[in-house]
């Protein structure tokens, strides 16, 4: 049976779920999105993801035609409709149908799309052996352009960096900000560990305040690591004792090589492995029940 897609209050088979060619989300990337996970019959960090979706919408002056509670119920209904207990949920809110001009006032009502399905971002081998990544020439958007804190449908900045990673034959790319400091990867936050201190770039350096990132910071503090949000340069990454990435889809994945430099001895470090295990345990035991 085809998966069922929520589009503006109704469910459609995957093959029949459509939007208008005049939707400004398609024409201009005018909209926002969110990625959420369900583990073992529970939606993980549900309120945090919904709040971030509405925050992104507020910043671009996009009025979502559902209350937060209605949005949450639509998510749960989508999971139930597809009989899912473990899933990745992609929520898209577009500006809606307008004309061929830019003016968002020509779009009378936003459109809400919810897709729930399985996802595998990286093969298991990379979780076991670690990622090789590179830094790329494409710089992270400045806050004065498309602020990286907004999860907007205009993701071309990240896609261009991902293309550079693909051409180099690696799975992920580190993006620097306009000043040359580490911001984040194309789809994940980045952490380094040095002398029992764990550091991740602050949002002011171009990083999204990832929800998985926040959970991992709390888990790191619980195992005795000093947690800091600070500036990072490539030097700091190259000489780190450990490095790993976090994201809703990726969860926690170790990095073992950056720009041809091995991180420490070139294998996943003990804290990275423990945080990966601790995060998975925490995610399996916490969340909003689906059924």
- The catalytic residue positions are 151
127 with 254: CB under 8 angstroms? yes
User: Is the CA virtual torsion 247, 115, 161, 94 positive or negative?
Assistant: negative
Q: How far is CA 4 from the centre of its chain?
A: 23
- For the chain, state the CA radius of gyration: 19
Q: How far apart are CA 287 and CA 47, in angstroms?
A: 9
For 242, residues 6+ apart whose C-beta sits below 8 A from its C-beta are 192, 193, 254, 263, 264, 268, 269, 270, 271, 272
Angle 89-284-121 from CA coordinates, rounded to 5° = 45
Angle between helices 46-59 and 68-81 (to 10 degrees): 120
Q: How far apart are CA 122 and CA 116, in angstroms?
A: 18
Residue identified by tokens 């900000």 is 177
How many helices (H) does the chain have, and how many strands (E)? Answer: 8, 16
User: Is the CA virtual torsion 19, 25, 28, 34 positive or negative?
Assistant: negative
112 with 6: CB under 8 angstroms? yes
Partner residues linked to 174 by β-bridges: 135, 185
158 with 35: CB under 8 angstroms? no
């Amino acid at each position: 049976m085809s998966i069922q897609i929520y589009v503006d209050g109704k469910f459609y088979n995957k093959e029949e779920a459509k939007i208008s060619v005049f939707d400004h989300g398609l024409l201009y990337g005018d909209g926002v999105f969110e990625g959420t996970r369900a583990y073992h019959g529970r939606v993980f960090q549900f309120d945090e993801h919904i709040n971030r979706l509405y925050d992104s919408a507020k910043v671009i002056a996009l009025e979502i035609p559902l209350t937060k509670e209605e949005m949450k119920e639509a998510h749960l209904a989508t999971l139930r409709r597809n009989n899912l207990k473990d899933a990745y949920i992609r929520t898209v809110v577009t500006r809606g149908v307008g004309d061929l001009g830019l003016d968002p006032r020509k779009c009378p009502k936003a459109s809400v799309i919810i897709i729930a399905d399985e996802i595998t971002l990286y093969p298991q081998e990379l979780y076991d052996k670690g990622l090789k990544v590179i830094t790329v020439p494409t710089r992270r958007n400045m806050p004065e352009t498309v602020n990286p804190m907004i999860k907007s449908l205009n993701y071309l900045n990240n896609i261009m960096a991902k293309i550079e990673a693909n051409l180099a034959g690696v799975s992920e790319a580190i993006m620097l900000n306009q000043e040359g400091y580490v911001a984040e990867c194309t789809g994940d936050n980045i952490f380094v560990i040095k002398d029992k201190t764990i550091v991740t770039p602050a949002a002011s350096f171009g990083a999204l305040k990832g929800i998985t990132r926040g959970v991992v910071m709390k888990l790191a503090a619980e195992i005795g690591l000093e947690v800091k949000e600070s500036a990072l340069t490539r030097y700091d990454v190259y000489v780190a004792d450990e490095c790993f990435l976090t994201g809703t889809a990726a969860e926690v994945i170790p990095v073992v090589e950056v720009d041809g430099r091995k991180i420490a001895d070139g294998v996943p470090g003990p804290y990275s492995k423990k945080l990966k295990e601790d995060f998975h345990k925490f995610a399996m035991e916490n969340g909003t029940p689906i059924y």
